[in-house]
Amino acid sequence: MLDIQKIRADFPILSREVNGQPLIYFDNAATSQKPQQVIDAITEYYTRYNANIHRGVHALSQEATDLFEAAREKARVFFNIPKAKQVIFTSGNTHSINAVAHGAHVFVNKGDELIVSSVEHHSNIVPWQMLCERVGAHLKVIPVLENGTLDMDAYKKILNDKTAFVVVNHISNALGVTNPVKDIIKEAKKYGAMTLIDGAQSCGHMKLDMQELDADFYTMAGHKMCGPTGIGILYGKEDALNQLPPYQGGGEMIDQVTFEKTTYAGLPHKFEAGTPNIAGGIALGAAIDYLNELGMDNIAAYEHELLEYGTEAIKKIPGAKIYGEVTDKAAVISFNVSSLHPYDIGTIVDKLGVAVRTGHHCAQPVMDRFGIPGTIRASFAFYNTKDEIDVMVQALHRAVNMLS
Active site residues: 362
Q: Which of 383, 96, 376, 369 is nearest to 231 (CA)?
A: 96
Beta bridge partners of 336: 321
Alpha carbon distance 382, 188 (integer Å): 34
* Helix, strand, coil in percent for the chain, rounding step 5: 45, 20, 35
Q: Which of 128, 219, 130, 211 is nearest to 170 (CA)?
A: 219
Q: Which residues, 6 or more positions from 177, have their beta carbon under 8 angstroms from its beta carbon?
A: 119, 148, 149, 171, 324, 326, 328, 329
Alpha carbon distance 219, 310 (integer Å): 29
Cα-Cα end-to-end distance for the chain: 42
Sign of the alpha-carbon dihedral angle for 142, 143, 145, 147: positive
Listed in sequence order, the DSSP H helices in 231-277 are: 238-243
Listed in sequence order, the DSSP H helices in 15-56 are: 36-44
Work out the number of other CB atoms within 10 angstroms of the CB of residue 348: 19
Across the chain, how many H-helices and E-strands are there? Answer: 14, 17
**Side chain identity, residue 346:** G
User: What Å distances lie between residue 145 and 150, 203, 217, 249, 266, CA to CA?
Assistant: 6, 25, 26, 42, 43
Four-CA torsion 64, 67, 71, 77, nearest 10 degrees: 140
Helix (H, G, I), strand (E, B) or coil at 299: helix
CB 114 within 8 A of CB 165: yes
